[in-house]
Amino acid sequence: MLIEHLNRQLREREAQALKRQRRVAESPCAPHQRVSRDGQPAREMLAFCSNDYLGLAHHPALIQALADGAQRFGAGSGASHLINGHSRAHAALEDDLAHWLAPCIPEAQALYFCTGYMANLALLTALGDAHATIFADKLNHASLIDGALLAKAPLQRYPHRNLATLESQLTRCTTPIKLIVTDAVFSMDGDLADLPALLALAERFDAWLIVDDAHGFGVLGAQGRGSLSHFELKSERLIYMGTLGKAAGVGGAFVAAHPTIIDWLVQAARPYIYTTAAPPAVAHALRESLRLMAGAEGDRRRAHLQQLIGQLRTQLTALLAAHPALGWRLVDSSTAIQPIIVGDNAVTLALAAALDAQGLWVPAIRPPTVPAGTARLRITLSAAHSSDDVQRLVDGLARAAGDLTGALA
């Protein structure tokens, strides 16, 4: 019965062009990557899909730091942080991260997590008790939504970036604790939350602002210090979650906040307490990653990434203007996430397949990851791309757009 039930649902997904498939990367994460699928021989693809925005995932200094960390601290942590898994490497990384956020959150302390998904579940379940209400942007990342659903606190969602609705929800709220939760850079659209306006609302209504900076940490602001720094915000009301597997190129995540909040997470956050600490070598490598990101090499990589973003947007704008019949549109995004909204699931898949045939790997993102009717190609750029790589993508898209327009005519 179970297997029949699941097979029926799998067939339904297939019919709606919603079935997802994995590929196997045969080489490190990089723009030019060998990839295999369905038992076919590996092909070299030009990929525009990773969140490795600075191209650090295969940086020799990080690979070396990971090896050094394993020599010093061993392969595994052996237990959770509250038993004997909390190593000097984790503690030192947390000090570095607290220092990183100190200009934006006075007295901040930091807590390292195995993944951003777990950090968000931890934050929302530990802070969102029966005394609190959670206010969330409708386009927040799945991990924030899941955390809010698991929390005891009631959840109020407001339409994407609609602060007027949020304000009226806050006005009506009667719980003593109010938590506003937002992606800083929305993961499937690339647009920014209006963090200064959100913080102003938090101050007016005595609320707290939880910022998920998965796509801003390492990329935005001076030295890549993230979205809070980009907007030059400073407040004790800010609770910051940054992930370390994207621009930082390694893995894990952290929360930086008022010391009492960190203390409470250590006492009460089940996704923190009941899991084995990440290998200490990962934390050790992350310290090297922070040094790279904050230094001259980070600056060079961010400047190059910014150039590529400008080039891609200019070229895509011209391309879409040349093919109005397709009805594709861009998002008002200034970040490395540059989606092309196509709309229909099957057309989006066909477009991704047409690019695939040209050796270009751009993921088709479909519901439920994005709202129905907004299936898209999610193009992401990395500082490891070259200007020629971007040109190849645009040429490939132009060919696919020409073919699809011909098919429509």
Ligand X SMILES: *Cc1c(COP(=O)(O)O)cnc(C)c1O
For residues 35-50, one letter each, b for 16 or more C-beta atoms within 10 angstroms of the residue's C-beta and e for the rest, the string is: beeeeeeeeebbbbbb
Smallest gap, in angstroms, from Cβ of residue 188 to ligand X? 9
Smallest gap, in angstroms, from Cβ of residue 321 to ligand X? 30
Single out the residue of 94, 137, 212, 356 in contact with ligand X (rule: CB under 6 A).
212
**How many whole angstroms separate alpha carbon 379 and alpha carbon 309?**
11
Q: What is the three-class DSSP state of 408?
A: helix
Q: Which of residues 42-101 bind ligand X (CB under 6 A)?
A: none
Q: Is 211 in the site for ligand X (CB under 6 A)?
A: no
- Listing DSSP states for 299-365 in one string gives HHHHHHHHHHHHHHHHHHHHHHHH-GGG--EE----SSEEEEEEE-HHHHHHHHHHHHHTTEE-PEE
Tokens of 372: 């129905």
Q: Is 115 in the site for ligand X (CB under 6 A)?
A: yes
Single out the residue of 23, 86, 90, 141 in contact with ligand X (rule: CB under 6 A).
141
Nearest to 302 by CA among 186, 381, 232: 381
Nearest to 194 by CA among 218, 223, 157, 166: 166
Residue nearest to ligand X (CB): 116
- Of the ranges 149-157, 167-175, 212-220, 302-310, which one interacts with ligand X (CB under 6 A)? 212-220
One symbol per residue from 146 to 185: x for binding ligand X (CB under 6 A), - otherwise; what is it? -------------------------------------x--
> Is residue 259 within 8 Å of 252, Cβ to Cβ?
no
Single out the residue of 187, 289, 335, 382 in contact with ligand X (rule: CB under 6 A).
187
Smallest gap, in angstroms, from Cβ of residue 81 to ligand X? 17
Tokens of 300: 């060079």
Smallest gap, in angstroms, from Cβ of residue 328 to ligand X? 23
Q: Which of residues 227-256 bind ligand X (CB under 6 A)?
A: 243, 245, 253
Smallest gap, in angstroms, from Cβ of residue 115 to ligand X? 3
| Helix-then-strand count for the chain, H and E | 14, 15
Q: Is 128 in the site for ligand X (CB under 6 A)?
A: no
The pair phi, psi for residue 339, each rounded to 5°, is -75, 150
**How many whole angstroms separate alpha carbon 186 and alpha carbon 193?**
7
Smallest gap, in angstroms, from Cβ of residue 137 to ligand X? 11
Single out the residue of 33, 109, 133, 143 in contact with ligand X (rule: CB under 6 A).
143
Strands 43-47 and 360-361: parallel
Single out the residue of 65, 148, 210, 214 in contact with ligand X (rule: CB under 6 A).
214
Tokens of 103: 């200009």
Q: Is 31 in the site for ligand X (CB under 6 A)?
A: no
Tokens of 109: 């302390």
Q: Is 279 in the site for ligand X (CB under 6 A)?
A: no
Q: Is 351 in the site for ligand X (CB under 6 A)?
A: no
| Binding residues for ligand X (CB under 6 A) | 115-117, 120, 141, 143, 183, 187, 212, 214-215, 243, 245, 253
